[in-house]
Structure 1
Amino acid sequence: MNRNGIGQAVRRVEDQRFLTGRARYVDDIHLPHMLHGAVVMSPHAHARIKSINTTAAMKSPGVHLILTGADAKKENLGGIPPLFMPEDMGGPKGYRTFRPLLEPEKARYVGDRIAFVVADTPEQARIAAELVEVDYEPLPAGVNVAKAAQDGAPKVWDDNPAANLAFPLMMGNKEATDKAFAAAKHIASVKLYNNRITANAMEPRACLGDYQNDAFTLYTSSQNPHGVRGILCGAVFKMPEIKLRVISPDVGGGFGMKGDIYPEDGLVLWASKKLGRPVKWVATRTESMLGDNHG
């Protein structure tokens, strides 16, 4: 094998700065006049949002802005689509969701984003976020996957004609499989339960949005910066991709969890444009547990 050919191991070049504490993560980036964001998350797995009162939160020290789902709706912001649907590759058609940056009417899981608070410091933003008053009407929730697929189960998306089914997908030869089972002398049935898990990366998700000269820069701890740019431009803000530069510095642990796009990526950009100042958000460990994609 050629020493410089296909299959040759790629030499690691990043170890020295990691081992000597010189890595540069999103939270290490500080821009002039930067503000900080905090997210109000739903404590309910399923609930109707009857009203949101931000009066007390806006009077909290250091607060500059509070955004809600009603604001996103008013400004005609789009939502985050699935990264993949079988129909995109010639497969069966499914139910395509568009997850808003902030939910205007209904929380669909514990940790769903309801409001975004921007203040001078992270502590001020989090204190103000606790003062946002959300009047919820709790609804029945689906907490068992098998039961959620049954008729009459609480629907996550009200207009999904297939109840809680995202899409039908079959693999293999059904006829041959049925014949094999019919001819089998013995059939063993096993029910398996897989625990819910979260990646729990040592460096939590973080993003920093900066709007200048009619263009955005997003620093984000993402394993998929091109996907982030494509979805934010194409589906959320509906603008040309040349208007957004996405920079992923040192990401830290990801385990696939940081390969998706999250509402906070759009929220920091939106807030930066409204305030004319950079806005950073860094997840707390609790927010990571609630808001990161689970497996």
Structure 2
Amino acid sequence: MTTATRDIILPAEWRDFWALTKPRVMSLVVFTALCGLLAAPGSIDPVIGFTAILCLAVGAGACGALNQYFEADTDAKMARTSDRPLPAGRMDRESALHFGIGLAAFSVGIMGVAVNWLAAGLLAFSIFFYAIVYTIWLKPNTPQNIVIGGAAGAFPPVIGWAAVTGDVTLLPVVLFAIIFLWTPPHFWALALFMKTDYGAAGIPMMPNVKGQKSTRNQIFGYSFPMAATAVLPFVLGQTSWLFGAASVLLNIVFIALAYRVWRNDTTDAMAMKPEKQLFAFSILYLFLLFAIFAFDRMLIL
């Protein structure tokens, strides 16, 4: 047992295993995957479709469990994460590791057998990328951790699409790019008002390494290619004016909030209202953008 976590391990409850899966993060992953599945051309048996989404949810849970296994010591140093099962001493690390590996193997295996092996391969790679490439290599070593690591969270709509079609075409790649470009401004907004926490844990987030001004510049800068990519489904003729208008409106609000972050020069975390507003809206932005996209595609297919 490491010194960063409690010496006495309490018996783990089902709630602790549930917490390992990071259910809030999982909900967004499942939702974007479902949107990719609903937007794909062709049809899928409802039972197979449900199985695909369930496997993806279980795979996302595996990512959360493995991430917390590798970051138990780091989580213990941050107020935001110190009450997670491992740093709080409610579970031993080996249980978290076995749980994460079991979820990963189950989700990929069932996806391959019941759905198709392309979707299973993409799911396996996304789990590997998040748990190993991002958690072990990128996050503790580079302020570009979120930029490159954003790929892990961008796979779900592609997997949902592949579950239906058995292939990957341009449109799911665009969906991947939207989430990939959305991730840096979303997480850097959080990092700005959580700078002290990340600093205490020794994580080289952008505000801690490059400074807050540079981070605000990059948040504002990233919002433009993200917005341009978000309207591509309409520009490519893959959606109607419903999605086109909604995308433009959502992007105007996002850029306006990013502009307020860019103009804000406070170093006081308590006074970072624009950053907190952007972080909160960015979650709503992605939910609405993908929901309207899926609805629009279902209308025109």
TM-score (norm 1): 0.26
From the two aligned structures, give the one with the greater strand fraction.
Answer: 1
The structure number with the bigger radius of gyration is 1
Which structure has more helix as a fraction of its residues? 2
Relative CO higher for 1 or 2, CA cutoff 8 Å, sep ≥ 6? 1
TM-score normalized by the length of structure 2: 0.25
